[in-house]
């Protein structure tokens, strides 16, 4: 495999990983600036034991929760999505399209 073929293959794999990470989210997603991971895509996704959280997926695949009293852990993703939409609007976050 020549270097240009390898680059194309790596780009293709990264795109597949990005798409797979986006599939875990329920509803709208937003761009959010973090202190440690830069600007990331946040949204509602299922956490442990059937609860739903707001967070993002790190490059290494680890899921990181956004910890704020405005976005508590919930059992109903629809309610948490409404909370996230309201919180994102107040913070001026841009929706991921």
Rounded to whole angstroms, the Cα distance separating 84 from 16 reads: 26
- On the 0-12 / 13-18 / 19+ scale of CB atoms within 10 A, 36 is exposed
Note every long-range contact of 42-50, with CB atoms under 8 Å and residues 24 or more positions apart, other chains counting. Answer: 42/66, 42/84, 43/84, 43/96, 44/77, 44/80, 44/81, 44/84, 46/77, 47/73, 50/75
Write down the mean pLDDT value for the chain: 86
Each residue's pLDDT, cut to its tens digit, for the chain (97 residues) gives 555 555 556 667 766 666 666 678 989 999 999 998 999 999 999 988 889 999 998 888 888 999 999 999 999 999 999 999 999 999 999 999 8
Residue 53 bridge partners (DSSP): 45
pLDDT tens-digit profile of 22-39?
678 989 999 999 998 999
């Amino acid at each position: 495999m020549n270097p240009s073929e390898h680059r194309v293959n790596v780009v293709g794999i990264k795109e597949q990983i990005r798409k797979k990470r986006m599939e875990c989210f329920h509803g709208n997603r937003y761009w959010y600036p973090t202190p440690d991971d830069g600007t990331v895509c946040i949204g509602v996704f299922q956490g442990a034991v059937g609860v739903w959280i707001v967070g993002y997926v790190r490059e290494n695949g680890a899921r990181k929760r956004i910890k704020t009293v405005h976005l508590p852990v919930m059992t109903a993703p629809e309610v948490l999505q409404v909370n996230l939409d309201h919180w994102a609007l107040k913070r001026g976050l841009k929706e991921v399209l």
